[in-house]
Amino acid sequence: LEVLKNPRVWLDASTQIFYSLGLGFGGMMAFSSYNPDRNDCERDAVTIACINSATSLFASIPIFSILGFKATTAFTGCLDGNILKLTNEFDLAEGNVTRDSYHVALASLNSTWPQRVHSLGMLTCNLQQNLNQAASGTGLVFIVFTEAILSMPGSQV
């Protein structure tokens, strides 16, 4: 919710609304040239704005769900890779280190054998960082969405 206090967010949101309403691009002029003389333009403008806002809110649900899925998949993949490195290096039984016990096991091994743990070159797994690395613009549509949808269960069907 701290993001909502940032004026840049509100500026970006208003810019998006102006682009999607088509102001300055002749869309409103084209609509008005075909209206009857006694048309209620104020009602039409409010209707268009409400439909546009509802469409934007509705579209945000799958967009943020897909971005969250992609970040979670990257995070669990990172954890699984680090767990595999720890299991192989320290000859641990498979299943001893789980995603839930990873941080405790890493802290324990790092306090006992810091050089060995450091030499593994393990990645820093951070879900919040994965969420913040989302692309925008055309990269979001063509790269991130395609990658996320292909990694979803049942996507090969």
Answer whether 76's CB lies under 8 Å from 84's CB: no
Cβ neighbourhood burial of 55 (10 Å; 0-12, 13-18, 19+) = exposed
Measured at the alpha carbon of residue 24, what is the angle toward residues 23 and 25, in degrees to the nearest 5? 90
pLDDT in tens, 34-62: 888 888 888 887 887 788 888 888 988 98
Dihedral sign (CA 147, 149, 150, 153): positive
Answer whether 117's CB lies under 8 Å from 110's CB: yes
Query: Is residue 29 predicted with pLDDT exceeding 80?
Result: no
In angstroms, the CA 13 to CA 21 distance is 12
According to the model, what pLDDT value does residue 30 have?
Answer: 73
